[in-house]
């Protein structure tokens, strides 16, 4: 039964009960034993207080006070406090007259004086009630607004991440299909293998939306398929060197991120070189950090990353910021030997690292 009583009515009952308890405490402490009918008058006044404040609440809803600007809410708050304090004072005086409570006090002051004193006393009760009510809704409104903002930010980040992860350069697909078409008659077996490799890449791209990270081994399998397809196009102009530390194979990495860096290296590096060049992929653990490096023949148009406006580089920065909240870094710069190096430095998964050590 009690579970059906709303929070509002519980606050009303408890709040006015506390008012009764405080009034009784002060009377016994500073005045002495109360007069006849004191308790009846006090209880009836509290019942009136519950009824009148509830009517005031209905007016707040009807006037849509809580939907108005803050300054307008304050003006309504003051006006409602005064009006309903007078109403509570009038009704409590009327009840005291009807039950004949404290006739000496009723005879000591004029009718206007008694109304003023009762309204003044009621003013503090209504003021406290309104302060609690308005503050509660103000805080609750801010809390809901913050939650909505956080939900919106999370939704935007999720959409951004899905957009970034699902991106595959359409030019690569067209180039791969053209290479496969050229092999259909010349080398059917290689054409079938190339179709499987392309299928693996497209499947991984679609599955990337469902996963935040994948083991490096899985990402490397996709990169190998990608490089195999590109090798059909560049042939001897594309050289590949993989330097992968075995203890990094199970480390989690963002899906399709390494493939994006390799794709960017071929597009902006190898394809611009007349004689082609080298793609080198390095994965290692250093200073309790996972370093994932892609090196390619070529040269940047400058030494700063912000001069590069390609989707691959921008998506890498965005994904690292979204996934690791500033705990991962991305760098790209020229190195000796006419090479460009793209480096991702990510936190090491200690759980996987400990599992690797136990199996050794």
Contact at 8 Å (CB) between 313 and 264? yes
Q: Are residues 82 and 121 in the same domain?
A: yes
Q: Provide the percentage of residues in the chain whose pLDDT is more than 70.
A: 81
Is residue 31 located within the same domain as residue 132?
yes
The pLDDT of 49-64, averaged and rounded, is: 92
pLDDT in tens, 102-123: 656 556 667 777 788 888 888 9
* Cα distance between residue 166 and residue 208, in whole Å: 7
Question: Of 135, 101, 131, 130, which Cα lies nearest the Cα of 118?
Answer: 101
Q: Report the residue count for the chain.
A: 360
pLDDT at 184: 78
Q: pLDDT for 285-311, tens place per residue?
A: 998 899 999 999 988 864 444 444 454
Q: How confident is the model at residue 51 (pLDDT cuts 50, 70, 90)?
A: very high
What are the CA-CA distances from residue 8 to residues 14, 133, 218, 261 (Å)? 10, 10, 56, 58
Whether the per-residue pLDDT at 22 is higher than 60: the answer is: yes
Hey, is 176 helix, strand or coil?
helix
Domain closes at, from 116, 138, 164: 164
Residues 178 and 258 in one domain: yes
- The answer on 172 and 160 residing in a single domain is no
What does DSSP say about strands 277-286 and 238-244: parallel, antiparallel, or unpaired? parallel
Same domain, 338 and 220: yes
Between CA 82 and CA 125 the distance in angstroms is 11
Residues 126 and 230 in one domain: no
Per-residue pLDDT tens digits for 176-205: 777 777 777 777 888 888 888 888 777 766
Which alpha helices (DSSP H) does 100-215 contain, by range? 103-108, 111-165, 170-186, 188-207
**Position 84 confidence tier, pLDDT thresholds 50, 70, 90:** very high
Opening angle at CA 273, ends 195 and 256, nearest 5: 40
pLDDT of the residue at 357: 43
Tell me: do 30 and 170 sit in the same domain. no
Residue 11 has pLDDT above 50, yes or no: yes
What pLDDT score was predicted for residue 209?
A: 56
213-227 tens-digit pLDDT:
889 998 898 888 888
What CA–CA distance (Å, rounded) separates 20 from 27? 11
pLDDT at 93 over 50: yes
Domain final residue pick, 164, 193, 221:
164
Given a contact cutoff of 8 angstroms between Cβ atoms, the answer to whether 49 and 89 are in contact is no
Q: What pLDDT shows up at residue 273?
A: 85
Would the pTM count as exceeding 0.85?
no
Query: Are 21 and 148 in the same domain?
Result: yes
pLDDT band at 59 (very low <50, low <70, confident <90, very high): very high
Average of pLDDT values for 154-183?
63
Q: Give the confidence band of 326 by pLDDT, cuts at 50, 70, 90.
A: confident
Nearest one of 321, 347, 342, 324 to 160, comparing CA atoms: 321
Average pLDDT over the chain reads 81
Are 210 and 283 in a shared domain? yes
Query: Of the residues 148, 164, 180, which one is the last residue of a structural domain?
Result: 164
Under a CB-based contact definition with an 8 Å cutoff, are residues 194 and 179 in contact? Answer: yes
- DSSP string covering 303-317, please? S-GGG---HHHHHHH
Minimum mean pLDDT range among 41-45, 47-51, 149-153, 296-300? 149-153
71: domain range? 2-164
Are 195 and 113 members of one domain? no
| Statement to judge: residues 221 and 151 lie in one domain | no
Q: How many structural domains comprise the chain?
A: 2
CATH number of residue 217's parent domain? 3.30.565.10
Tell me the average pLDDT across 78-92: 92
Q: Would you state the pLDDT for residue 152?
A: 59
The reply to whether 191 and 268 lie within a common domain is yes
């Amino acid at each position: 039964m009690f579970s059906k009583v709303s929070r509002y009515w519980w606050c009303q009952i408890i709040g006015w009960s506390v008012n009764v308890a405080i009034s009784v405490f002060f009377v016994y402490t500073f005045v002495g034993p109360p007069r006849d009918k004191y308790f009846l008058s006090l209880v009836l006044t509290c019942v009136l207080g519950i009824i009148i404040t509830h009517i005031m609440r209905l007016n707040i809803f009807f006037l849509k006070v809580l939907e108005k600007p803050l300054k307008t809410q304050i003006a309504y708050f003051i006006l409602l406090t005064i009006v309903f304090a007078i109403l509570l004072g009038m009704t409590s005086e009327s009840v005291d007259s009807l039950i004949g409570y404290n006739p000496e006090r009723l005879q000591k002051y004029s009718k206007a004086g008694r109304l003023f004193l009762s309204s003044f006393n009621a003013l503090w009760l209504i003021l406290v009630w309104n302060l609690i009510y308005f503050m509660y809704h103000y805080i609750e409104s801010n809390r809901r607004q913050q939650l909505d903002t956080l939900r919106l930010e999370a939704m935007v980040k999720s959409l951004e991440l899905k957009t970034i992860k699902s991106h595959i350069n359409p030019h690569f697909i067209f180039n791969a299909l053209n290479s496969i078409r050229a092999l259909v008659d010349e080398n059917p077996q290689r054409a079938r293998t190339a179709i499987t490799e392309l299928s693996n890449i497209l499947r991984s791209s679609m599955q990337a939306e469902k996963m935040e990270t994948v083991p490096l081994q899985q990402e490397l399998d996709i990169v190998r398929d990608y490089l195999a397809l590109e090798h059909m196009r560049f042939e001897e102009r594309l050289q590949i060197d993989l330097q992968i530390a075995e203890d990094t194979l199970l480390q989690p990495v963002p899906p399709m991120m390494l493939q994006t860096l390799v794709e960017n290296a071929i597009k902006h590096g190898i394809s611009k070189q007349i004689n082609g060049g080298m793609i080198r992929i390095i994965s290692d653990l250093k200073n309790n950090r996972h370093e994932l490096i892609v090196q390619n023949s070529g040269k940047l148009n400058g030494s700063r990353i912000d001069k590069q406006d390609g989707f691959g580089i921008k998506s890498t920065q965005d994904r690292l910021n979204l996934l690791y909240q500033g705990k991962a870094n991305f760098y790209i710069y020229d190195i000796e030997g006419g090479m460009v190096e793209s480096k991702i430095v990510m936190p090491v998964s200690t759980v996987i690292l400990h599992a690797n050590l136990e199996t050794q």
